Amino acid sequence: MPVFLKLVFRNRLAGAGAIIIAALVLTCLLVPVLPLADPDQTDTAHRFIRPFSEGRLLGTDHLGRDLLSRLLWGTRLSLAVGAVAALLAATFGTLIGVTAGYFGGRVDAVLMRGVDMLMAFPYILLALAIVAALGPGLLNALIAVAAVNVPFFARNIRGISAGLAAREFIDAARLAGEGHLRIILTELLPNVLPTIIVAVSTTIGWMVLETAGLSFLGLGSQPPQADLGSMLGEARPALITAPHTLVVPGLAIFVIVMSINLLGDGLRDALDPRLRSGALARPSPVTLIERAEVPAARAAPGFLDLDALDTRFRVGRRLYKAVNGVSLSIARGECLGLIGESGSGKSVTALSIMGLVASPPGVITGGAVRLEGEDVLALPYAALRSLRGRRVAYVFQDPLSTLHPLYRVGDQLTEAMRVHDRITDQEARARAIELLDTVQIPNPAERLSAYPHELSGGMRQRVGIAMALANDPDLIIADEPTTALDVTVQAQILALLDQLRRDRGLSILFITHDFGVVGQLCDRVAVMYAGRIVEEGPTAAVLAAPAHPYTRRLIDCVPELGGGKRALTAIPGLPPAVDSLPEGCAFAARCDRARDVCRTGTLDLAQTGGRAVRCLFPETTATEDRA
């Protein structure tokens, strides 16, 4: 509990809310012993005295009654009524919710049907109907407000109870032959209680508001007894002549409700793990770039060069080095494979190129991405945006989640052209059909009006590729484009990409975890482990004679090159957490060739001709001629 309170108070507004409420409750408890005037003592000679007059701190109302006294007594009554209504609603709601959730089946169906019916009313109608039947009065208003809120509690608590009722400890209790009532009271209720407490504390404000509303309408507390609502109601006729009689109780309700809302929001935030982990952060249009220095351009720039690229994830105070000094180069018309396990940083590398890493939490902290020698990361947003899709296009892994679910494929395709090109509807449509034809989708004209969920996985990925081709880019970055597909479709998509590359002179950066795929498509391959390149070289040479132990393991994972089921289970152990990279070789913990020296110092990527390896005791001396 103290941890929990700490969380609440860390949210300053919630803390303020808690303090105001505590102060209010305390004052209300003390009201009977405070030296206050009689709240119901009328004094018609002194009506509508303004606030801050002598002896009348808040002035008097239309009957000359002391407003301060009435305010405090009224607040006391309103808070009490609100709290009782919340407790009543919670009690009955819990009763219904727990019963429905615990027993399930028909009991659940019947009870929840009833709850649904109640929720089909605009809530106040129900409250008014109840007050109409029982007659106006504070007690009846309280009953009405409580009754109207029962369904909200019932539904909420049913959900949790149903979840709990399916858990083992409840089953265990049932098997042990305990009675239903006993199980509910001793096993279920204690687990539901925290939710109930939070729900009650956050709805008291609502209840105060509702009962005040009914009193305001004259349906709640009856004179001379006053709660805040009826004070407002009585002030209404004198609205223009004596506005203070209105403002005093109005502000009081506002302060009560607001402080309860503040506290409620604070509680909710404190309990929401997603908020703390930053999982609800909004990714900005471009990855945050905070480069201390930019490495010098290469003497002989390739088509796309990555120079010592550093991309990190900032989560709270921790820093994860997702991409750690990665340098790569792709020539025109070349296909480079970037391979590694999930979490190796290969996808982050790919997304960094066009500033598409989600930030927060991503930050590019160093290095450069150069497209024909020009530093992409230094470009203003507009210039970077015009490169995206036009010169460098992406194909992502799972086209079901990467295509917009609510837009027709045709519209998504033509949009890709329109953001870079001013073209007419007909032109766009014609080009879209042509593109779908290029990626071998049958009946392309008809498919334009399909939604992604209406296509098969393979067709969707073809659409993804067509979209990437829409502006005739120079480079396609394909991030595991075939992983979500079955093997035959995978082969077709690979063949398609290969053909497009040859036809159009495309460069491709192909991200994968599968050496079999690399073997079919890529000229060169770079292997990534824990954010670093550990081996690089021509595909054939690397496949024939892997130098890094990790590369060899990856190749061993492929049962039979180019076919069969591939599972990445053969490498024992897990990659290290990238926030705490060990000294020396990051692979040491899983390496069967590791010796003590591997765990000290830093390892460089040793170049020999066209190959490079980051290992002290490579499997073979890396040479190209074994290819």
Partner 1 sequence: MARYILFRLVSAIPVILGITVIVFLIMSLIPGDPAQAILGAYATPENVARINRDLGLDKPMVERYFIWLGNMLTGDFGRSFSLNRPVLDEILERFSATLVLASVSLLVCSLIGVAAGVVSAARQYGWADKTITFAVLIGISIPSFFLGMLMILLFAVKLRWLPVSGMFEIYGGRGPGDLLRHLVLPSVALAVVATGVVARLSRGAMLEVLRQDYIRTARAKGVGEGRVLWGHALRAAMVAILPILGLQAGFVLSGAVYIEVVFQWPGVGRMLVDAILKRDILLVQGAVTFVAGCYVLFNIVVDVAQAMIDPRIKA
Show contacts with partner 1 in window 474-513 (CB under 8 A). none
Task: List C-alpha distances in Å: 275 to 17, 244, 287, 316, 444.
Answer: 20, 42, 20, 11, 44
When asked if residue 106 is in the footprint of partner 1 (CB under 8 A), the reply is no
**In this complex, which beta carbon is closest to ligand SF4, that of residue 489 or of residue 605?**
605
Dihedrals phi, psi of 480, to nearest 5 degrees: 45, 55
Taking CB under 6 A as the criterion, the residue among 192, 403, 588, 612 binding ligand SF4 is 588
When asked if residue 281 is in the footprint of partner 1 (CB under 8 A), the reply is yes
Question: Of 41-49, 73-81, 127-135, 152-160, which segment contacts partner 1 by CB under 8 A?
Answer: 127-135
Take residue 30 and report the two structure tokens written for it.
């003390």
When asked if residue 33 is in the footprint of partner 1 (CB under 8 A), the reply is no
Task: List C-alpha distances in Å: 392 to 331, 372, 499.
Answer: 14, 12, 18
Which residues, including other chains, have CB under 8 Å from residue 428's CB and lie 6 or more apart?
414, 417, 418
**In this complex, which beta carbon is closest to partner 1, that of residue 113 or of residue 317?**
113
Beta-strand (E) ranges in 39-78? none
Which positions from 269 to 298 touch ligand SF4 by CB under 6 A, shown as an x/- string? ------------------------------
**In this complex, which beta carbon is closest to partner 1, that of residue 51 or of residue 582?**
51
**In this complex, which beta carbon is closest to partner 1, that of residue 326 or of residue 470?**
470
Of residues 194, 268, 259, the one with CA closest to residue 22:
259
Helices within 475-562 (DSSP H only): 487-504, 515-521, 539-544, 549-556
When asked if residue 559 is in the footprint of partner 1 (CB under 8 A), the reply is no
When asked if residue 12 is in the footprint of partner 1 (CB under 8 A), the reply is no
240 binds, among partner 1, ligand SF4, none (CB under 5 to 8 A by kind): partner 1
Identify residues 428-447 at the interface with partner 1 (CB under 8 A): none
Contact between residue 215 and residue 225 where contact means Cβ atoms under 8 Å apart: no
Taking CB under 6 A as the criterion, the residue among 146, 500, 594, 612 binding ligand SF4 is 594
Taking CB under 6 A as the criterion, the residue among 216, 396, 515, 587 binding ligand SF4 is 587
CB of 211 to partner 1, least distance (A): 11
Taking CB under 6 A as the criterion, the residue among 617, 620, 621, 626 binding ligand SF4 is 617
Identify residues 351-370 at the interface with partner 1 (CB under 8 A): 351, 354, 356, 358
Task: List C-alpha distances in Å: 361 to 31, 143, 204, 255.
Answer: 51, 49, 37, 37
Taking CB under 8 A as the criterion, the residue among 100, 111, 253, 525 binding partner 1 is 253
What angle, rounded to 10 degrees, do the helices at 487-504 and 457-469 form? 20
Rounded Cα gap, residues 428 and 424, in angstroms: 6
Take residue 257 and report the two structure tokens written for it.
């409700």
**In this complex, which beta carbon is closest to ligand SF4, that of residue 496 or of residue 605?**
605
Rounded Cα gap, residues 373 and 68, in angstroms: 76
Taking CB under 8 A as the criterion, the residue among 420, 504, 590, 593 binding partner 1 is 420
Question: Of 153-161, 183-191, 478-486, 587-595, which segment contacts ligand SF4 by CB under 6 A?
Answer: 587-595
Give SS3 for 8: helix
Rounded Cα gap, residues 333 and 336, in angstroms: 10
When asked if residue 591 is in the footprint of ligand SF4 (CB under 6 A), the reply is yes
Q: Give the total residue count for the chain.
A: 627
Bridge partners of residue 509, in order along the sequence = 336, 477
Identify residues 511-550 at the interface with ligand SF4 (CB under 6 A): 548-549
589, burial (CB in 10 Å: exposed 0-12, middle 13-18, buried 19+): middle
588 binds, among ligand SF4, partner 1, none (CB under 5 to 8 A by kind): ligand SF4
When asked if residue 239 is in the footprint of partner 1 (CB under 8 A), the reply is yes
* 608: enclosing H helix or E strand: strand 606-608
CA 412 distance to own-chain centroid: 24
When asked if residue 232 is in the footprint of partner 1 (CB under 8 A), the reply is yes
CB of 439 to partner 1, least distance (A): 16
Question: Of 35-43, 98-106, 257-265, 366-374, which segment contacts partner 1 by CB under 8 A?
Answer: 257-265
521 binds, among partner 1, ligand SF4, none (CB under 5 to 8 A by kind): none
Q: Which residues bind ligand SF4 (CB under 6 A)?
A: 548-549, 585, 587-588, 591, 593-594, 598, 615-617
